[in-house]
Structure 1
């Protein structure tokens, strides 16, 4: 069994940042990743916004609003999350992002300086494309001596008899071997859980593996009912399903496109008559999904977005105000010309909210500690920072700051607490991983994944109510009882066995969806991204965090009052 000071699971911006900083602390570091480093994960698909206060930018010698303070940035973030965010985590992000931007500048990272992003009170932030930040971070980690294990599907955390995390077990997809690697500390940076929804903006790897492993190891999850849906994403054609280009070409950039139901009604007038389509993302997502639920949607299960009322000059000159779309309609590597020509011809485009970002996740403090010895977390895998909703650009700041903090803390823990303790659960984890491969008859993993996806779309959509949440819990119980123990592969070949990898993702997804469902059931009123159609108003009760922890024989949910250590909602 290979041994390292620190193993980082995940090779997006959070994982690579953690790996670089852990290596800078003198730790030996291995990054394991489900796919190829630099070609998988959410970072490479991101729009690239990174929030940072204007005064912090100016202190670095970069362009920034001199009136925009870190305090303004903090208050904007807390207000956007309806003051449910962990104020210590928010402060850590706001004050810590400057050092990481300085590091990226030193690495000669291409960046542009942003105009005012939605929800922010000032034009704060920088823009670094997803491919650029992934490339720069990967080169820096390799140059620092970080080692990599690609196409490794992590499925369980090794723990000693006292519960300390001492390594990871998983499947080497290329060889079909079940392997374990030992470590003095683990950093989870596996991204979010959005791949459990079929209409999504993120790639397919984000099934919540890290969340499931952490929960099984004894960590708490926080605000798992909070999932950010991005409105105005394409629902058709299939090859472009989930692309957020209509949102970029419309409300995200301030272009006054109109959202219409099948009767041509601008339905946002019923929800936010002043801002209309420029309302907050959670409100636009809820309103769009509600039109579908109430039978006023478009043929493919969305609503219409139209630019037909605008002069063509507005669209023709869009590239002049855009930081991500070129004059020939190239966006994020896609040629959007066919879609734009359809818009120019006066056609409306079918759009719907897509699962975009996991606001909830594993509970941490500002050092990335989870309360489980040896286990650290950063980036979208972590919860608690954004509260009820996330501001544009704050994910970029989060992954960099929390990646750094978790990497440094993990390296120091590893060096001060070296262990040669033998894991007590190695055989158990390997048996669970191997179980689907030993069966030829039973539940087909691809069909179980589809069941889980349909469940998530019905019960954890932007529009929720008690009856649909209860139906989701009932169906999940059936899947856990009748599918998960009987998952089987249709072929015995071990390398690149898609049935086998799907089965392992199903094993993780049931834990993630169960935590989200019981959290959604417990929060009976609307708050932030959690919109209850049967209780559309926010409760007057004191704000509380929703927490999920695994007890010996069940998973428990509890509420804990929010601590207003820096700013009160009444301020």
Structure 2
């Protein structure tokens, strides 16, 4: 008989990054009993890697900025495939969420007149990113954690128990969501998982679950993502009956470290370019001027002199092309390397040393200075950085209602942050992730709490589902001679990096699906030596199931979408198609566990929002029928 620790909560939040903590705070403020599940140590969420800032149109540096400009920039960056309502809510509510953080104790950098400072970033028309040096994500997590602690202190004063209404379960992995279908509808009843240290199983009975598990980057060898990003939330949602939207759109951040090999892929913040850094090839040329797409010609400078004036002249709106959206910059770097103008390690040079005084670099980019000094023995105040594209962010994710963050088809299931899809369209602008976490984390927690208020009675956990989850978790440990999970992960990463990378082709995508089908059979036979305590091989064996199904969704959708848009580049279909802009690709699971792919029309933008764009610009993205 396997022992299972049991808990009873109103709302369970899976993920302890920015979205998860903000959701938990909101649900707790609504009076609910809330559990926060952290796969790693509490405070080590991947949100800390978001260094440059949080985008919010506060107008502190340039008073011309407002939510409408932010909305336009977000839609342009996403190539008009965004869920317009999510982009609208995000642009309108981001400033309030940033100011709210100040009331929680966040210490943002300030302007000379004492306002929250805001810096330039790629794709944003005005300086818009509220920042704390280049450690903004760390400050966000620190602040939200402190708010969690303050709420727990209130509980201790009121109930005599520090964890009476809000508890963190650190180093705990959820492997299955549990459903109650007794009413004919799928309803969340709880979540099943295990403690990573001891291997002991744990069951959370709860009518509402918020997924805030982040991304999928560990399916790629070269990635800025930490080890937790194995697509857990995406896969949990799929198996529960929810759907994933537009999983073909993966963002390859243009600047990750490329040398030495041991640190390849570690993020180099966009703040370096936002503060004046420029990209050069091995011939010493600022090559980005050769890669400005026609749709961005009006917004971007044509000469270095014009681009440099943008940093000091508020009336010069033509940005340097180093601040193009990330997908454009990543493709340009990739093209320079393929043309033989890259470094031996396969990157290009990012130069801030010749552009800013050493003292200013140390003040604004302290983490970058220490990162390169410690990991690559490069002094960025006197030497250029060597950088190249790295798998960074997935724009696709769990399909949600834009206002409530609820998943259609599974009552009581919500998603926020990177695990959710729609907000960013085909490409995310830098800085939009942190404000996205706050805006939709709050909404997910708010609506999850409201959902529990409306229940007549709580959904009931099905013991047969629990038994099946236990068996699924234990199977790799009982399998003698099973395949090594590390070998399987390496093979999966090789398929995705080689065949479903930054540039895609039909034949390679078809090959990837064949190889993923082979891996599916091999992963079904994965084994893990030893017992449940302190067993990372077992942990990976369980994660592989999630990584595989999410990779299948990405590859299938990439093969289906016959155009190039944002983070999805097809060499055999190099242009955007107004027909494909009208299509969301939806992945779900069949009863046999296979990935099913269908088309779904994107929501039609309201006339008041369409009026924010010039018709000539919309004509580059939309059909004549849509424009009429």
1:361 and 2:378 matched: no
1:422 and 2:427 matched: no
Corresponding residue for residue 99 of structure 2: 102
The change in CA–CA distance for 1:455 and 1:291 in structure 2 (over 3 A counts) is farther
* 1:449-506 CA-partner distances (Å, limit 9, x unpaired): 111111111122111111111111111000001x111110122x21121110000110
TM-score w.r.t. length of structure 1: 0.90
C-alpha distance in structure 2 between counterparts of 1:453 and 1:313, whole Å? 37
- Work out which of the residue numbers 241, 249, 265 in structure 2 matches 1:226: 249
1:91 and 2:84 matched: no
Give the RMSD, CA atoms, in angstroms: 2.5
Please state whether the residue corresponding to 1:559 is helix, strand or coil: strand
* 1:496-534 CA-partner distances (Å, limit 9, x unpaired): 211100001101101110111111011011011101112
Please state whether the residue corresponding to 1:245 is helix, strand or coil: coil
Deviation of the 1:277 alpha carbon: 4.4
The change in CA–CA distance for 1:296 and 1:448 in structure 2 (over 3 A counts) is farther
Corresponding residue for residue 326 of structure 2: 281
Deviation of the 1:268 alpha carbon: 4.7
Please state whether the residue corresponding to 1:286 is helix, strand or coil: helix
* 1:145-544 mapped onto 2 (5 Å cutoff): 145=152, 146-161=166-181, 162-245=185-268, 248-249=271-272, 251-260=273-282, 268=288, 271-272=291-292, 274=302, 277-292=322-337, 298-300=343-345, 302-305=346-349, 307=351, 314-315=355-356, 317=357, 319-320=359-360, 324-326=364-366, 330-331=367-368, 334=371, 336=373, 341=378, 350-365=386-401, 366-371=403-408, 372-417=410-455, 418-423=457-462, 425-481=465-521, 483-491=522-530, 493-541=531-579, 543=581, 544=583
- Give the stretch that moved more between structures: 289-298 or 434-443: 289-298
Deviation of the 1:202 alpha carbon: 2.2
Deviation of the 1:54 alpha carbon: 2.6
Corresponding residue for residue 60 of structure 1: none
Deviation of the 1:382 alpha carbon: 0.5
Corresponding residue for residue 58 of structure 1: none
Corresponding residue for residue 23 of structure 2: 18
The change in CA–CA distance for 1:167 and 1:246 in structure 2 (over 3 A counts) is closer
The change in CA–CA distance for 1:318 and 1:546 in structure 2 (over 3 A counts) is farther
Deviation of the 1:142 alpha carbon: 2.8
C-alpha distance in structure 2 between counterparts of 1:115 and 1:218, whole Å? 41
Please state whether the residue corresponding to 1:136 is helix, strand or coil: helix
The change in CA–CA distance for 1:305 and 1:333 in structure 2 (over 3 A counts) is closer
Deviation of the 1:296 alpha carbon: 6.4
C-alpha distance in structure 1 between counterparts of 2:89 and 2:363, whole Å? 28
Q: Is the 8 A contact 1:367 1:409 kept in 2?
A: yes
Please state whether the residue corresponding to 2:577 is helix, strand or coil: coil
TM-score w.r.t. length of structure 2: 0.82
1:549 and 2:609 matched: no
C-alpha distance in structure 2 between counterparts of 1:219 and 1:246, whole Å? 33
Q: Is the 8 A contact 1:34 1:151 kept in 2?
A: yes
1:79 and 2:79 matched: no
1:114 and 2:137 matched: no
Please state whether the residue corresponding to 1:14 is helix, strand or coil: helix
Q: Is the 8 A contact 1:254 1:278 kept in 2?
A: no
* 1:290-311 CA-partner distances (Å, limit 9, x unpaired): 45557765433x223164xx9x
Please state whether the residue corresponding to 1:383 is helix, strand or coil: coil
Deviation of the 1:35 alpha carbon: 0.9
Please state whether the residue corresponding to 2:534 is helix, strand or coil: coil
* 1:329-353 CA-partner distances (Å, limit 9, x unpaired): x43863637857567777x654320
C-alpha distance in structure 2 between counterparts of 1:158 and 1:71, whole Å? 41
Please state whether the residue corresponding to 2:278 is helix, strand or coil: coil
Q: Is the 8 A contact 2:82 2:425 kept in 1?
A: yes
Aligned residues: 549
Deviation of the 1:284 alpha carbon: 2.1
Deviation of the 1:245 alpha carbon: 3.2
Deviation of the 1:65 alpha carbon: 3.1
C-alpha distance in structure 1 between counterparts of 2:575 and 2:566, whole Å? 10
* 1:138-149 mapped onto 2 (5 Å cutoff): 138-145=145-152, 146-149=166-169
1:565 and 2:569 matched: no
C-alpha distance in structure 2 between counterparts of 1:223 and 1:68, whole Å? 30
Deviation of the 1:253 alpha carbon: 3.0
Q: Is the 8 A contact 1:253 1:322 kept in 2?
A: no
Q: Is the 8 A contact 2:12 2:208 kept in 1?
A: yes
C-alpha distance in structure 1 between counterparts of 2:168 and 2:338, whole Å? 46
- Give the stretch that moved more between structures: 160-169 or 283-292: 283-292
Structure 2 residues not aligned, in runs of 5+? 1-5, 110-116, 153-165, 294-301, 303-319, 611-617, 620-626
C-alpha distance in structure 1 between counterparts of 2:573 and 2:375, whole Å? 42
Please state whether the residue corresponding to 1:331 is helix, strand or coil: helix
Q: Is the 8 A contact 1:364 1:377 kept in 2?
A: yes
Please state whether the residue corresponding to 2:281 is helix, strand or coil: strand
